Amino acid sequence: MPRPSLPVLLFALAVCGLLIACGDGSSGAVPDEQSDDDDDAWTLENDDDFPSEAPPDGDLDKPDHPDMEESDPPELDGDDESEPASDEAMPDGDEDSPAEIEPAEEFAEEEPEPLPCIDLMRRWQTVAEGEFGPTDWVYEGNLADRCQADGLLIAGAKGMTVSVTLMPKGLAQPLVGRMFMAEAAAASGRREAAVYYDASDTFPLHGLSHTFTLPYSGEYLIVVSGAGEMGRAGDYTLTAHCSDGCDKLFTRFPIAMLHGMAGWDSVLEIYDYFRGVKDDLIGRGYDVHVTEVAMFNNTDYRAAEIESQLLDILWNTGARKLDLVAHSQGGIDARHFISGMGHENDVALLAMLSTPNRGVILGDMILGNVTGVSQEILAGLFDFFGNLIDGSESDIRAALAQIAVKNMTEVFNPAHPDAPGVLYWSWAGTTCLDLDFSCQDAHGGEWVNPVFALPYRLVAAYAPSPEFAECDGLVPVESAKWGEFFGTVNADHPDEIGQLKTGGFDHIALYADIASRIHAAGR
């Protein structure tokens, strides 16, 4: 028999291998049937052995969870469309089990609600200052933001009948605004202010006007803003108008008057230092107050007394600042109050009349700073100041040390520079000896009161320079100059306040002129 060829043998071996591979892996036998329990035990050997074929159709009709109704369809895992594994196949708590992801709910984007504009009346900022008068004061404003609050500080005189009109602009987006009017205390923050008008619940304010009579002379606060949560930004016009009592006079801030030496309990019986001035100014419409301090003492002592009184005026009126009008040493006290006691922001203006800002040579003479002064002269000076001060020699020396030229020029002035933001004004008095007719002709017939004849002669005789010789009988013109100088008046030192009058000087007109200038300066 011929031997089989090699290809035939290889084919036979391949057929045998195929028959073995088709049988049971261990024995090569194929099982005749599968038990019923195997149909219900559709499990995985481990989590990585996912079946490549779907289970029998009947298993999809069975609930995989005891709480699931028969009719509920099974949940599928994302985009994986293969059959889900049963609870047995994916036990709870298995860290490798895929997390069940719930579909995200879709929400419509909503506009955020605007935040409320809180406490606008305390957040206002000054945008303008104006005043009531026969001519309308008009302010064109703009609220760039619905929570903006514009503060307008408008001044007027007690008894004026005034009206304020707010006219928002724009037709497409009209300003929904509110107008709030209060006394000056609201502007200063020193105390709670009385509210005269509040239209916070009235809108829109198209042409809204309010009319009333001013209860005091000075400053009023008007706030314009959007009205609460309905506020809108936009342009507006505010008009202030006076319809009655418009001839009354006023200053923006209260006037406080500070007296000089021998103020209240002198032997000269000067009990109303600024004789008749306060009543006259109040009658014109001004708000005027007069301080009272020791008749003659050093500046530290007097300024401490003045401080408490000036702060009381600020508190009682609610004003932001004060206008100070001072005579003689009262100007030194005022300068110390401003620059030496930290009240730069409490004063708008200081007007000084014959204040010895650069000292008085008489003080140096008594202190021994001037050589060649006879004992007779010194005795006469002690008699003069003793009558003013009614004190001992030591009291006189202590009092005059303040106004000595050496002290004022070398100590006080360097320590008290002018405060930024405060206006400094000054006036000086000039007079003549009783027999100096040419001087009297040049000064409207003014001549010095005999009480001040000795100090007049001494100031002229011992003047450090010719320009310091001209004086009002006590204070040289050059010493009185400070800040903006408005010139001289024909009056001696007591004439300037209406005391011991020897001529026809009208001191009432002088202080009325000063007050008028303060008003014109917006102070």
Domain annotation covers residue 42: no
Boundary residue ending a domain (218, 244, 270): 244
Q: Do both 154 and 205 map to the same domain?
A: yes
Assess if residue 36 is contained within a domain. no
Q: Is 262 a member of any domain?
A: yes
Task: Give the closest residue to 259 by CA, choosing from 171, 328, 204.
Answer: 328
Specify whether 331 is located in the same domain as 440. Answer: yes
Residue 51 has pLDDT above 60, yes or no: no
Q: With respect to residue 5, please indicate whether it lies within any of the assigned structural domains.
A: no
Determine the structural domain holding residue 158 and report its residue range.
120-244
| Cβ(262)–Cβ(388) below 8 Å | yes
Residue 479 sits in the same domain as residue 404: yes
* Residues 277, 130 share a domain: no
Same domain? 290 vs 165: no
Instruction: Kindly report, residue by residue over 83-139, the tens digit of the pLDDT.
Output: 444 444 444 545 455 555 555 555 556 656 656 666 656 678 999 999 998 899 999
Whether residues 222 and 306 share a domain: the answer is no
Per-residue burial over 260-295, b = 16 or more CB atoms within 10 Å of its CB, e = otherwise: bbbbeebeeebeebbbebbebbeebbbbbbbbebeb
**Same domain membership, residue 302 and residue 191:** no
Q: How many domains does the chain have?
A: 2
- Provide the pLDDT confidence category of residue 365 given band limits of 50, 70 and 90: confident
Residue 411 lies in a domain: yes
> 225 lies in a domain?
yes
User: Which pTM value belongs to this model?
Assistant: 0.75
262 and 238, same domain (yes or no): no
pLDDT tens-digit profile of 473-499?
999 999 999 999 999 999 999 999 988
For residue 238, the surrounding DSSP H or E stretch is strand 234-244
Residues 170 and 268 in one domain: no
Tokens (6 digits) for 501: 């009058």
How many angstroms separate the CA atoms of 226 and 150, rounded? 10
**Same domain? 455 vs 322:** yes
Separation of alpha carbons 126 and 419, rounded Å: 22
- Is 47 domain-assigned? no
Q: Domain with 291 in it: what CATH number?
A: 3.40.50.1820
Quote the percentage of the chain above a pLDDT of 90: 41
Residues 226, 274, single domain; the answer is no
Tens of pLDDT along 372-430? 777 777 777 777 776 665 556 666 677 788 889 999 999 999 999 999 999 999 999 99
Instruction: Give which of 473, 384, 479, 477 is closest to 432, Cα–Cα.
Output: 473
Which domain-ending residue is among 197, 224, 244? 244
Structure-block tokens of residue 465: 């320079």
469 lies in some domain: yes
Tokens representing 459 are 């100031």
Q: What is the pLDDT of residue 272?
A: 80
Summarised one tens digit per residue, pLDDT across range 181-222 is 899 898 898 888 898 888 765 545 566 788 989 999 999 999
Q: Using an 8 Å Cβ cutoff, are 195 and 182 in contact? A: yes
**Between residues 403 and 250, the one the model is more confident about:** 250
Residue where a domain stops, chosen among 205, 223, 244: 244
Split at pLDDT 50, 70, 90, the class of 260 is confident
CATH number of 214's domain: 2.60.120.380
Residues 231 and 276 in one domain: no
